[in-house]
């Protein structure tokens, strides 16, 4: 029997849930109860969440954690992080505390330029197109005047409009490459509105507009974060050996793409968690960061390390197009709370905080990998997740956790120990 349906978007939320339960789940009553279990108790708050996307049936919760003790440019921060991956928040917190006694993190915004493009097809003479563009460039700015007025008051707006010939890559393909400053706004709607106004003004019978859209590749919207200290201040049994091994681990990520992807994924563990907590677009940030990692023609590490004259230095540079006003940042109660926790940062401040979280996460991962291995910390959380699934008591959790200290954790082994313990107690 077909499960096709028309007019689904016009159903009430209750009707959507009932239809799904009847058609896609074996136990409709349990399904409905589970979905409704995650509704907000406050009707107004639930309505707010319902309006974020289409066809909403419930809320999908992720933990909101806090990583304290971050010292960034001599300012103290507790950083909100939203993630489902175990040990991310713990690792960031440990590294924050570690570097807080060594001068903390130093960060700099290297640029805030964002990019949008009008893509079009033109089969005529290039000289004629260039003449048309130069003669009408001022009109392109004028076409956006009503849109850019308020942004310009805040110091932003359109920085430049360039005609770019891309016919060597695709026949008759040109673009208007437009740079923007959007201040504390991420600026997606602002940029796209400007682009569409420019496209309308620019099109002719010979110029076929294909599309107008911002780019999530923003190589000039850059931030840098770094830590440094004397090698002996790294601590441990042999700080020199640790520094050298750490350095080699970073170098491997610079030259080996298979390692670089996972290396950078670790960086994004920290960054994405803050991006989500503050209501920003983690897909855009991810796409831009990974594109930047491949900007030289091969995929490489976003972070780097040096050992010079007894000084250990670890840093990263990456693009981060984020905002602190507009969009979900102004609507989601926890996003607003997260920004308040960060002392109501500007977009530049937030770029630096996010980059710091990414560097901290990367340091934590590399320190684990080059010493006791990455699984040591992961397995602790993995064990707790298994125990929670089994519904153990507090005493059982203590007993099983103690038993697996120093042992390999697997789901089968934990279940076996759990069953044995239950039999013993019974």
CA dist., res. 127 & res. 130, Å (int): 5
CA distance 77 to 98: 14
Nearest to 358 by CA among 331, 318, 415, 406: 318
List C-alpha distances in Å: 176 to 49, 166, 201, 281: 37, 10, 12, 25
Catalytic-residue membership of 378? yes
Query: Is 281 designated active site?
Result: yes
DSSP 322-340: --SBSGGGGT-HHHHHHHH
- The 10 Å Cβ neighbour count of residue 289 is 23
One of 85, 125, 152, 165 is an active-site residue; which one? Answer: 85
Q: What does the alpha-carbon distance between residue 74 and residue 103 come to, in Å, rounded to a whole number? A: 8
Catalytic residue among 13, 49, 265, 304: 265
Query: 347 Cβ partners below 8 Å, 6+ apart?
Result: 112, 182, 183, 184, 185, 186, 322, 323, 324
d(CA 224, CA 193): 30
How far is Cα 271 from Cα 81, in angstroms, rounded to an integer?
Answer: 9
User: Quick one: tokens of 426?
Assistant: 């019974």
Answer yes or no: 340 catalytic: no
Active-site residue among 114, 281, 290, 348? 281
Q: How many CB atoms lie within 10 A of CB 200?
A: 12
> What is the Rg, in whole angstroms, of the alpha carbon atoms belonging to the chain?
26
Q: Which of 378, 380, 397, 417 is catalytic?
A: 378
Q: Pairing between strand 173-181 and 157-165?
A: antiparallel
Q: What order do you get walking across the sheet with 303-308 strand by strand?
A: 106-109, 222-230, 311-319, 303-308
∠ Cα 111 116 117 (to 5°): 140
Other CB atoms within 10 Å distance of the CB of residue 28: 15
**How far is Cα 268 from Cα 278, in angstroms, rounded to an integer?**
15
Task: Give Cα 94 to chain centroid, integer Å.
Answer: 21
DSSP string, 113-148: -EEEEEEEEE-S-HHHHHHHHHHHHHHHHHHTHHHH
Task: Kindly list the catalytic residues.
Answer: 85, 265, 281, 378
């Amino acid at each position: 029997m077909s499960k096709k349906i028309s007019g689904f978007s016009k159903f009430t939320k209750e009707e959507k849930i009932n239809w799904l339960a009847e058609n896609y789940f074996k136990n409709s009553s349990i399904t409905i109860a589970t979905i409704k279990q995650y509704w907000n108790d406050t009707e107004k708050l639930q309505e707010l969440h319902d309006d974020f996307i289409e066809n909403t049936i419930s809320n999908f919760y992720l933990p909101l954690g806090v990583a304290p003790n971050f010292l960034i440019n001599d300012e103290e921060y507790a950083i909100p992080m939203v993630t489902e991956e175990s040990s991310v928040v713990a690792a960031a917190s440990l590294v924050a505390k570690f570097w807080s006694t060594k001068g903390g993190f130093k960060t700099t915004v290297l640029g805030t330029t964002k990019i949008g493009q009008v893509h079009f097809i033109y089969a005529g003479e290039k000289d004629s197109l260039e003449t048309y563009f130069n003669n009408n460039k001022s009109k392109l700015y004028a076409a956006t005047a009503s849109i850019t007025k308020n942004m310009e008051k805040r110091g932003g707006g359109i920085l430049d409009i360039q005609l770019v010939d891309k016919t060597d890559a695709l026949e008759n393909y040109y673009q208007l490459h437009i740079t923007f400053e959007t201040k504390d706004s991420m600026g997606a709607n602002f940029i796209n509105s400007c682009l569409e106004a420019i496209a309308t003004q620019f099109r002719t019978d010979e110029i076929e507009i294909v599309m107008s859209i911002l780019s999530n590749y923003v190589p000039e919207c850059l931030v840098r974060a770094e830590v440094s200290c004397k090698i002996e201040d790294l601590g441990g049994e042999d700080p020199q050996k640790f520094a050298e091994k750490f350095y080699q681990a970073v170098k491997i990520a610079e030259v080996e793409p298979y390692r670089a992807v996972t290396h950078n994924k670790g960086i994004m563990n920290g960054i994405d968690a803050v991006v989500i907590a503050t209501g920003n677009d983690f897909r855009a940030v991810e796409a831009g960061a990974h594109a930047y990692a491949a900007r030289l023609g091969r995929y490489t590490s976003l972070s780097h390390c040096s050992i010079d004259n007894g000084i250990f230095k670890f840093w990263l540079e990456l693009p981060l197009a984020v905002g602190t006003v507009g969009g979900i940042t102004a609507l989601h109660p926890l996003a607003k709370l997260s920004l308040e926790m960060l002392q109501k940062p500007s977009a530049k401040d937030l770029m630096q905080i996010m980059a710091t979280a990414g560097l901290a996460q990367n340091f934590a991962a590399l320190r684990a990998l080059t010493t006791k291995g990455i699984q040591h910390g992961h397995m602790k959380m993995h064990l707790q997740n298994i125990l929670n699934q089994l519904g153990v008591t507090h005493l059982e959790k203590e007993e099983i956790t103690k038993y697996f200290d120093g042992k390999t954790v697997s789901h089968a082994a934990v279940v076996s120990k759990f069953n044995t313990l239950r039999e013993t107690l019974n």
